[in-house]
Amino acid sequence: MVSGRQRVQDDATARGLGIEFIERPAANSLEEAAALLGVDPSGVVKTLVVKRHDGTFLFALVPGDRQISWGKLRAVVGVNKLRLPEAAIALEATGFHRGTITPLGSSTAWPVFADERIVGQRIAMGAGELGVSAFVDADALVFALKATVADITD
C-alpha cells in the first residue's frame, strides 16, 4: 500500500508542483506545529474537509490563525448548508486522517476553496502523514488544484 506522504508526492509531481517535506515532532496544536516549523501560525494552512448537503465534499484551505466563515463559504460555494463531517467520514472521503489531510493525493479530487490570505506565500500544510508537513508555494498550489480563491475566513 502506498503511504499518504507518497500519494501527496506523486500527485504533486503529476501536477508539476514543487513540494518540500519537513519531518517534525508531534505537535499538540497548530501553534506548536508552527513553532516547530519556524513559521507564523498564519503560514500553516489547515485543509478542512467540508460536507455538502448532497453528500459530496470540498476542501477549504484556511490560514492557521483564522477560522472558516460558514456564511462566506456558503455564499462562494452557492449552497445553503455545509458542515464539518466526523473524522471517520473525512477519512473515508479523502483517505487521510485528521491532522494529515491535504487536497494533494486525496482518494477523491474534491473541489478546493482557498482563503485569499494564503496567496503570495510559501505555506506549510498536511502531508498525508503524522509528523510531516509539506511546504509549497501557495500560488502554484492554487493553480495546480484549480482552486477557487475567495475571502472564506474570519
| Beta strand segments in 84-131, E | 112-115, 122-126
Helical ranges in the chain per DSSP H: 4-14, 30-37, 70-77, 87-94, 138-145
Q: Taking the CB of residue 40, how many other CB atoms lie within 10 A of it? A: 14
Please report, for the chain, the start and end positions of each structural domain, with discontinuous segments joined by +.
Answer: 4-150
Structure confidence by residue, pLDDT tens digits, 123-138: 999 999 999 999 999 9
Quick: pLDDT tens for 8-39: 999 999 999 999 999 999 888 889 999 999 99
The pTM (predicted TM-score) of the whole model is 0.96
C-alpha cell at 138: 501557495
**Bridge partners, residue 47, by sequence:** 61
Lookup result for grid cell 506545529: 33
CATH match for 4-150 among 3.30.420.10, 3.90.960.10, 1.10.357.20, 3.40.50.1100: 3.90.960.10
